[in-house]
Structure 1
Amino acid sequence: MKSNSKHVWVPGPIIVGAGPSGLATSACLKKQGVPSLILEKENCIASSWKLRTYERLKLHLPKQFCELPLMTFPPDFPTYPTKRQFISYLEAYAEHFSIKPLFGVRVQCAEYDPSIGLWRVQGNDLEFICRWLIVATGENAEAILPDIGGMSEFQGQVLHTSFYKNGDDFRGEKVLVVGCGNSGMEVCLDLCSSEVQVSMVVRDKLHILPREILGISTFGLSMWLLKWLPMKLVDAFLLLCSWLILGDTEKYGLARPKIGPLKLKNTTGKTPVLDVGTLSRIKSGQIKVVPGIKRFTNKGVEFADGRQEDYDTIILATGYRSNVPSWLKEEEFFDKKDGFPRNPFPNSWRGKNGLYATGFTRRGLLGSSMDAHRIAEDIACQWKSKTKHPPLEM
């Protein structure tokens, strides 16, 4: 910690991150009568949604599974709200609960000081002192850039999906999308709709599920069935429905893992793809499926099977990761390798010495809401039962 920093005492918890998870936790704390302070490195709430997402993005799940605590979506919102609608909801949420983050504060270091029994949080030229620290930077804090040989030799454009906005920017080009998760699939569909010649790298096996089964959300149906049936049977049902609705995806270079989609998500965190129309473009040949990349060339790539192909642009749909290990000085609660809590859901929200985590459940906004309620209730019990520290003399 910087010795010349100005010290600021915060009587309630500090929340790092003003995304949906941080906002939800702040609102739940406020309902319990506990004040909080959100520190946010960007100059706006929900910076990932506002600054790093493509224009055609919609919520992958129906809106009832994506609401934050204590406030529903407007009734006129569609089943799958758009990016702009979701951002407007988050802005209304922050205004409704009078949540006012401290923007432009990048947390460089946070460490528990056992000599005073409090957390020291270094942000810019300030050192915040607090009893409770809530990590809400989430699963997608920074882009993953793969290390592929020869990338510097490629003469075209290489960008991560966090910089991709819409397909019109690439009209008439030949584009390779590296990655076949939900983002990669949607970017391919968006490019295809803009008359771009697009190919998609599929290196691993993956599950593609219909977004809806007989007009019912596949996710919602899965959650309901899991209340009554073991996961193995629900997985078998989902795969049968997928085969009936989508057909045999392996014929198009999209082989399925042996483990069912729900079990795979539970054990590895790998989310199945919910098809929004990309598969039909793959079947028609408008989107070409290609194998993994061996190396870049000056005009394109060489694939794992030895074939070479030229491209104008390469878009990396290679996902995101947690950045917690870069700033949180803590050894037990968070895993230094992946930046996630060591304990799996539903026990991933509380650590020791007043440390909490929200938005690391691998269960999307629904998991964040569950975290927010638990954290607020736990801190409220301590807030009401213990004498609060007076401001420290620094």
Structure 2
Amino acid sequence: MKSLMAGCAGQRHTEPQSPLQPMDHQDAFVPFRGSSHAPLDPETEADIVVIGAGPAGLATAACLVQRGHSPWVIERAQNVGSSWRHHYERLHLHTVKTHSALPGMPFRDEAPRYVSRQGVVDYLSAYAQRFGIAPTLGAEVGAVEPRTGRPGAPWQVVLAGGRAISANHVVVATGANRLPVMPALPGQDRFQGRVLHSRSYRNAAPFAGQRVLVVGMGNTGAEIALDLTEQGMRTALSVRSPVNIVRRDVLGRPTQLSSLLLARLPPALGDALATLLRDITVGDLGRYGLRTASISPLRQLRKEGKTPMIDIGTVARIQSGEIAVYPGVQALTRDGVRFSDGREHPFDAVLLATGYEAALPALFPYTALPLDERGMPPQAIGEGALDGLYFVGFDVRQPGGLLRSIAQQAERVAERISLRQAQAPRTRDGVAR
């Protein structure tokens, strides 16, 4: 892998011509980089449109800028990196900063090994400024449609309100966690407490003095349960399925770095060593109500796209009895929860750490996307009927973390777009046909 501290594919960095300018809602249709595009009309043309100004969209836009392009970046929120601004407060990256930076700009030397949520927010804002990326903010994309049988660009990006942009290249960087998955629980209508998705959780303060059940023990659920417990709440976890748990660090070495080394081995050997490392460092937690997955952490990531739970203290709280573990939820009662083993327990709030979905079909109502079982595109670069489409930030199967994968994909996509643009004939105004 190329160093993330280098520029995009070796391109020389130039200072941005203008800083990131804040836009209010009435300026939501001001185009990217001021004079690069005309104001939005009902029909507008663009060479390259990037949908999303989170890490994936910013990384791809920066790599394109470094290659001399002016991508049009569209973001539905009023800030870059919006999802990071709304994550729970105690969140830190579980991946080391040297493998979490976007192309062309490392994290500051004084940043901790595992950067905080606010540190990532500040980094993304500085990243946009460094590369002169000023997205169109407050613009919701309703659909991406093929322009089959019509002259000009092959794709059309339709904004809320009906405005459309025809584009030769459309980079979809809306994120693997675009919409929360919030299942309806039996009995939820009679439960007297609160039921909310983990997306709404910021800190433990609103739950002071309450009994809280966190449903799901992925990384979000485990860390929220830890946060609640550290702040004195009576906390429990509902865990329906076997889990893969790994320590964030083993003897001072980040597990992320170990996983990258193991992934380079033949799969059978890497899986065996990953399982051995898990069993030695975490052990059997069956006595606490947790079943260990039969599949290795690496194989689970590779085959199912599920990241193991990276432990930063939750397991110790479970072992001490401070966090109770229950099986799956059978139903909510008036005052609490009945579990699949028949036990009932009172709770004041139920937090659903039940994950997210990319929800890509909703963006492509007229296009059949080849999605995997998790709803993710298997390739970053579209082919055949999807020529001109690119998907960055959806590869959740790579070891080393999503930000590392984003950095790699952004460079590949920018390189492919540059190659295609160089080969394309141009109109008189410079737009590729």
TM-score (norm 1): 0.93
Q: Note if contact 1:349-1:371 (Cα within 8 Å) is conserved in structure 2.
A: no
Distance 1:160 1:56 in 2: 17
List, as ranges, runs of 4+ consecutive aligned residues in structure 1 with deviation greater than 6 Å: none
Cross-structure match for 1:385? 423
Cross-structure match for 2:147? 113
Q: Note if contact 2:271-2:296 (Cα within 8 Å) is conserved in structure 1.
A: yes
Deviation string 1:175-217 (CA, Å, 9 cap, x unpaired) is 0000100000000000000110000001000110111122111
1:9 and 2:10 equivalent? no
| 1:57 Cα deviation from its structure 2 partner | 0.1
1:219 and 2:256 equivalent? yes
Distance 2:235 2:287 in 1: 19
Cross-structure match for 1:251? 287
Moved more, 177-186 or 119-128: 119-128
1:265 and 2:301 equivalent? yes
| 1:8 Cα deviation from its structure 2 partner | 4.2
Superposed, 1:291-330 pairs within 5 Å as 291-330=327-366
| 1:382 Cα deviation from its structure 2 partner | 1.6
Distance 1:233 1:250 in 2: 26
Corresponding residue to 1:197 among 230, 234, 243: 234
Gaps of 5+ in 2: 1-39
1:124 and 2:160 equivalent? yes
| 1:102 Cα deviation from its structure 2 partner | 0.5
1:78 and 2:112 equivalent? yes
Q: 1:389 to 1:256 in 2, by over 3 A?
A: farther
Q: Note if contact 1:182-1:274 (Cα within 8 Å) is conserved in structure 2.
A: yes
Q: Which amino acid aligns with 1:72?
A: P
Tell me: higher relative CO, structure 1 or 2? Use CA pairs within 8 A at least 6 residues apart: 1
Cross-structure match for 1:55? 89
Deviation string 1:42-72 (CA, Å, 9 cap, x unpaired) is 1111111112x10000001111121101110
Q: Note if contact 1:110-1:119 (Cα within 8 Å) is conserved in structure 2.
A: yes
Q: Which amino acid aligns with 1:139?
A: A
| 1:233 Cα deviation from its structure 2 partner | 2.1
Residue 42 of structure 2 aligns to a residue in which SS?
Answer: strand
Q: Identity of paired residues, percent? A: 36
TM-score (norm 2): 0.85
Q: Note if contact 1:21-1:359 (Cα within 8 Å) is conserved in structure 2.
A: yes
| 1:158 Cα deviation from its structure 2 partner | 1.1
Cross-structure match for 1:206? 243
Moved more, 114-123 or 149-158: 114-123
Corresponding residue to 2:382 among 326, 334, 350: 350
Q: Note if contact 2:380-2:413 (Cα within 8 Å) is conserved in structure 1.
A: no
| 1:29 Cα deviation from its structure 2 partner | 0.5
Q: Note if contact 2:361-2:369 (Cα within 8 Å) is conserved in structure 1.
A: no
Distance 2:147 2:374 in 1: 24
Cross-structure match for 2:130? 96
Residue 11 of structure 1 aligns to a residue in which SS?
Answer: strand
| 1:249 Cα deviation from its structure 2 partner | 2.0
Distance 1:339 1:202 in 2: 23
Q: Note if contact 1:143-1:321 (Cα within 8 Å) is conserved in structure 2.
A: yes
Q: 1:231 to 1:330 in 2, by over 3 A?
A: farther
Moved more, 277-286 or 62-71: 62-71
Total equivalences in the alignment = 382
1:25 and 2:60 equivalent? yes
| 1:338 Cα deviation from its structure 2 partner | 4.5
1:168 and 2:185 equivalent? no
What is the CA RMSD across the aligned residues, in angstroms?
1.8
Corresponding residue to 2:316 among 280, 305, 309: 280
Cross-structure match for 1:34? 69
